[in-house]
């Protein structure tokens, strides 16, 4: 349970809010690179942390992210013309470069033109392609951190796949689903048996057999390692370890030789978020069948309303609930697909869940510690200007793991280096 003021502190990320200031310390995923596929392609509207922005790729391949609205009289630049190294407003032809600098006001007399242009600059943020993702940093330019180093963006191109989807609820309740490994034994029990990106892993049997997982949470440099233990063979436990790196990165523990996956939960505004979903294998290319399955919405990906990033199963169609499939035992909740199983339940809590009413239990200890850590970091930044965990790129070099360990061994000791990125070495997985 949280006090209402703490719930507001952690869920509000608009400009000037303490949590918004925290998010503005990090490079965060803004768009998929596929959204700006070529020079001079159409501009894309992007809302992040409650700011309405426009993203472009100019004639010279440079990316830019700036205020959506023209400085002249507030027209949306989405209607603009992206041409000749800049974005031109369709109303009176004012033109901006990728930094938001006004470079042309065609209606003004020549003698005033350059001095007037120089004074006009839209708010803008850097936009950088790393892997399949365009990243932005929306904070104070003087504090710009090093570019992110997440392993899924750094492996060779054929080893990684990323999708994104719109989720219609606050970022924090979506994140909390990502660090709550206990729901897997219920909500996703069908997926462990049938999904091509999950099935046939040795570890699945422990997941399905032991529905009373024990949580052990350990602090890491950038956030937490959330260890979840289930019974395995005599004298052993099956451990699944989920890293969370502040504020919004999670990585699901692997299964067999399947690719590893995880999410970034990025606020659009206080009632919506982008879920960026990555899948990668540290040492081998993804197979054609794996990529096909991801594009078809299997694993932790999903199907889309054509031409959009809205899931095909969404709250307007009750996520295509199939009660008959539920009765036949094909799905636990009646909703098909891991990510839509999660999204349907998280969105059902309302846009911002009222955390003053919840009743937390032992399997919520990862969530409790994550909230505490966020809250502490928000206060340290606000009160003393302390850079939060997870900004330092060395904090990002983590991996999830799934291992069987003797009962007397802690997961931190048993996993050792398996929880760190080891380039060229396979992840620890059963
Ligand atoms: S409103 Fe954009 S040029 Fe006039
Ligand atoms: Fe889930």
Which residues have C-beta within 8 Å of that of residue 253, sequence separation ≥ 6?
A: 181, 240, 241, 242, 400, 401, 402, 429
Q: Is residue 152 in contact with ligand 1, taking CB distance under 6 Å?
A: no
Question: Is the CB of 73 within 6 Å of ligand 1?
Answer: yes
| Helix, strand, coil % in the chain, rounded to nearest 5 | 30, 25, 45
pLDDT surpassing 90 at residue 403: yes
- The tens digit of pLDDT for each residue in 29-43 reads 999 999 999 999 999
Band the pLDDT of 211: cuts 50, 70, 90. Answer: confident
Cβ neighbours for 299, distance < 8 A, ≥ 6 positions apart? 195, 196, 197, 198, 258, 261, 279, 293, 338
Confidence of residue 192 (pLDDT cuts 50, 70, 90): confident
Å from CA of 302 to ligand 2 middle: 13
pLDDT at 1: 82
> Residue 143 pLDDT > 90, yes or no?
yes
Ligand having the closest approach to the CA of 342? 2
User: Who contacts 217 (Cβ-Cβ below 8 Å, separation ≥6)?
Assistant: 224, 225, 226, 227, 365, 366, 369
- What is the DSSP pairing of strand 127-130 with strand 133-137? antiparallel
Torsion angle of the four alpha carbons 198, 200, 206, 208, in this order, in degrees rounded to the nearest 10? 70
Which of 43, 89, 104, when mutated, tests ligand 1's pocket best, judged by the most ligand atoms within 8 Å of its CB? 89
pLDDT at 173 over 90: yes
Q: Which atom of ligand 1 is nearest to the CA of 70?
A: 2
CB distance 81 to ligand 1 below 6 Å: no
Query: What is the SS3 assignment for 247?
Result: coil
- Which atom of ligand 1 is the closest one to the Cα of 93? 3
pLDDT digits (tens, 9 = 90+) for 83-105: 999 999 999 999 999 999 999 99
**8 A C-beta contact, residue 249 and residue 390:** yes
Q: What is the DSSP letter of 316?
A: G
Choose the residue to mutate in 66, 94, 102, 103 for probing ligand 1, maximizing ligand atoms within 8 Å of C-beta.
Answer: 94
* Cα–Cα distance, 255 to 281 (Å, whole number): 12
- Please tell me the distance from the alpha carbon of residue 373 to that of residue 367, in angstroms, as a whole number: 10
Cis peptide before 247 (omega within 30 of 0): yes
What are the C-alpha distances in Å from 257 to residues 202, 282, 313? 10, 11, 29
Q: How confident is the model at residue 392 (pLDDT cuts 50, 70, 90)?
A: very high
Q: How far is the CA of 188 from the centre of ligand 2 (A)?
A: 7
pLDDT class of 224 with cuts at 50, 70, 90? very high
Query: CA-to-CA distance for 231 and 213, rounded, in angstroms?
Result: 8
Q: How far is the CA of 79 from the centre of ligand 1 (A)?
A: 11
pLDDT at 185: 82
CB 344 within 8 A of CB 333: yes
Ligand 1: residue whose CA is nearest its atom 1: 73
How many other C-beta atoms are found inside a 10 Å radius of the C-beta of residue 321? 15
At residue 194, the pLDDT reads: 86
Closest ligand to Cα 93: 1
* Span between the terminal Cα atoms of the chain, in Å: 35
For ligand 1, say whether the CB of 420 is within 6 Å of any of its atoms.
no
Ligand nearest to the CA of 122: 1
Triad 344, 294, 305: Cα angle to 5°: 50
Averaged pLDDT for residues 272-288:
98
Q: Which ligand is nearest to the CA of 105?
A: 1
Would the CB of 94 count as within 6 Å of ligand 1?
yes
Residue 262, classed as helix, strand or coil, is: strand
Entry pTM? 0.97
Q: State if residue 120 touches ligand 1 by the CB under 6 angstroms criterion.
A: no
User: By C-alpha distance, which of 266, 30, 295 is closest to 162?
Assistant: 295
> Does the CB atom of residue 106 touch ligand 1 within 6 A?
no
pLDDT tens-digit map of 47-95: 999 999 999 999 999 999 999 999 999 999 999 999 999 999 999 999 9
Chain mean pLDDT for the chain = 96
Whose CA is closest to atom 3 on ligand 1?
Answer: 92
Alpha carbon of 207 to ligand 2 centroid (Å): 13
């Amino acid at each position: 349970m949280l006090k209402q003021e703490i719930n507001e502190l952690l869920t509000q990320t608009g400009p000037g809010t303490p949590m918004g200031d925290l998010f503005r310390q990090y490079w965060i995923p803004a768009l998929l690179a596929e959204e700006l596929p070529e020079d001079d392609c159409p501009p894309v509207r992007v809302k992040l942390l409650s700011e309405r922005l426009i993203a472009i790729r100019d004639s010279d391949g440079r990316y830019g992210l700036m205020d959506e609205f023209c400085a002249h009289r507030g027209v949306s630049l989405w209607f603009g013309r992206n041409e000749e190294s800049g974005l031109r407003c369709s109303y009176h032809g004012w033109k901006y470069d990728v930094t938001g600098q006004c470079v042309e006001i065609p209606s003004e007399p020549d003698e005033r033109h350059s001095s007037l242009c120089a004074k006009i600059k839209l708010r803008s943020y850097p936009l950088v392609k790393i892997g399949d993702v365009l990243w932005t940093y929306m904070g104070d330019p003087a504090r710009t951190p090093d570019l992110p180093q997440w392993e899924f963006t750094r492996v060779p191109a054929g080893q990684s796949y990323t999708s994104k989807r719109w989720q219609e609820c606050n970022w924090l309740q979506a994140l909390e689903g990502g660090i709550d490994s206990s729901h897997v034994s219920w909500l996703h029990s069908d997926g462990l048996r049938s999904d091509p990106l999950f099935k046939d892993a040795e570890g699945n049997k422990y997941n399905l057999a032991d529905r009373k997982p024990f949580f052990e949470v350990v602090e890491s440099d950038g956030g937490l390692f959330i260890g979840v233990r289930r019974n395995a063979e005599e004298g052993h436990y099956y451990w699944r370890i989920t890293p969370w790196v502040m504020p919004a990165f999670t990585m699901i523990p692997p299964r067999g030789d399947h690719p590893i996956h995880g999410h970034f939960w990025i606020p659009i505004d206080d009632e919506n978020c982008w879920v960026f979903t990555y899948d990668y294998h540290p040492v081998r290319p993804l197979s054609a069948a794996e990529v096909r399955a991801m594009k078809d919405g299997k694993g932790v990906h999903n199907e889309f309303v054509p031409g959009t990033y809205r899931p095909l199963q969404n709250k307007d169609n009750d996520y295509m609930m199939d009660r008959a499939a539920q009765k036949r035992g094909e799905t636990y909740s009646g909703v098909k697909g891991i990510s839509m199983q999660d999204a349907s339940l998280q969105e059902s809590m309302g846009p911002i869940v009222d955390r003053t009413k919840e009743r937390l239990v032992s399997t919520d200890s990862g969530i409790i510690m994550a909230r505490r850590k966020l809250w502490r970091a928000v206060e340290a930044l606000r009160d003393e200007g302390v850079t939060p965990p997870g900004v330092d790129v060395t904090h990002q070099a983590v991996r999830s793991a799934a291992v069987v360990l003797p009962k007397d061994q802690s997961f931190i000791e048993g996993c050792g280096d398996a929880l760190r990125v080891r380039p060229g070495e396979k992840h620890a997985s059963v």
